[in-house]
Amino acid sequence: MIKIGNVTLDNGIPKICVPIVGRTVDELQQECRYLQDKIYDVVELRIDFLKTVTDLNSVNEAITAVRNELPNSAILFTFRTKDEGGETAVPESFYFELIQYAIQSGKINAVDVEYFRNPDSIQSIIALAKKAGVTVIMSNHDFDKTPSFDEITTRLIGMKKLGADVAKLACMPKSAKDVLTLLSATEAVKSQYPDEPLITMSMGKLGAISRISGEIFGSALTFGSAKKASAPGQLEVTTLQQILRALH
């Protein structure tokens, strides 16, 4: 099974990932300390929130600070592009430079790589990550709508064919039927790849059920907020943990 650090993404109760979204190193340290009494499995460093993200020295300071605060935690490094709901716009060349820098830092366990980026650059990052023992989560986010069943399955399978360790898709529902589309597409892909982890979610209040039903439909990781949510519909991490335990 695929791991992020020491955390196995298996077919049981979904693991919990907590995004940290500090705009300064000090804010990131405060968020890490806030997590000390929380139950979670993975921390997502959303580096696109960092005000000085275009300075690699600042990025290094941020990565180092988070690793020092959470020496034993599994850390996922993510720069979410503006196109897919992120905080900061950067050239695509710098986007890949950031991910490469994070992999080579030796201080993170996984990276997020967006599916709709340059395919050659994606392949280079995958090769670098595999060499470094860093897990690649390939992702796609649609904050406007829910793609069709066929489009969701095509994207998730396409990520796997590109070499992703984990395929991730998040989308915004306009109706209950949209939530069902996301869940049924997740189940369909999971049935084709039963031993490979997927991460899917339907966002917003309508999609909250998708964040707690991963064990049934096949999503291995769910996101819970700590101090601040990084996407609409995230449940607070302690509440999320309690719900998952009760369902399990």
Tens of pLDDT along 55-80? 999 999 999 999 999 999 999 999 99
Provide mean pLDDT across the span 117-136: 98
- pLDDT of 182 above 80: yes
User: What's the CA angle centered on 227, arms 39 and 140, to 5 degrees?
Assistant: 85
- pLDDT of 229 above 70: no
- pLDDT of 199 above 70: yes
Provide mean pLDDT across the span 168-197: 97
The pLDDT value recorded for residue 228 is 66
Provide mean pLDDT across the span 135-152: 97
The pLDDT value recorded for residue 1 is 84
- pLDDT of 137 above 80: yes
The pLDDT value recorded for residue 179 is 97
Asked if residue 44 belongs to a known ligand binding site, the reply is yes
Provide mean pLDDT across the span 238-247: 91
The pLDDT value recorded for residue 234 is 79
- pLDDT of 227 above 90: no
Euclidean distance between CA atoms 118 and 101, whole angstroms: 17
User: What's the CA angle centered on 89, arms 129 and 206, to 5 degrees?
Assistant: 85
The pLDDT value recorded for residue 247 is 86
Q: Which is nearest to 107 in space by CA: 53, 65, 56, 164? A: 65
Domain limits of the chain? Answer: 3-239
Number of Cβ within a 10 Å radius of residue 108: 26
What share of the chain in percent tops pLDDT 70?
Answer: 97
- pLDDT of 231 above 70: no
Asked if residue 9 belongs to a known ligand binding site, the reply is no
Pick the CATH number of 3-239 from 3.30.70.20, 3.20.20.70, 3.90.245.10, 2.60.40.420: 3.20.20.70
The pLDDT value recorded for residue 235 is 87
Which residues are marked as active site? 141, 168
The pLDDT value recorded for residue 244 is 93
Provide mean pLDDT across the span 114-141: 98
Q: Is 46:78 a contact under the CB 8 Å cutoff? A: yes
Q: Where does the pLDDT of residue 232 fall: very low under 50, low under 70, confident under 90, or very high at 90 and above?
A: low
| pLDDT tens-place string over residues 31-52 | 999 999 999 999 999 999 999 9
Asked if residue 211 belongs to a known ligand binding site, the reply is yes
| pLDDT tens-place string over residues 81-113 | 999 999 999 999 999 999 999 999 999 999 999
As given in the structure block, the two tokens for residue 50 are: 């960092």
Q: Is 103:124 a contact under the CB 8 Å cutoff? A: no
Q: Which is nearest to 99 in space by CA: 73, 120, 121, 72? A: 121
Asked if residue 35 belongs to a known ligand binding site, the reply is no
| pLDDT tens-place string over residues 159-180 | 999 999 999 999 999 999 999 9
The pLDDT value recorded for residue 230 is 60
Asked if residue 67 belongs to a known ligand binding site, the reply is no
Q: Is 76:108 a contact under the CB 8 Å cutoff? A: yes
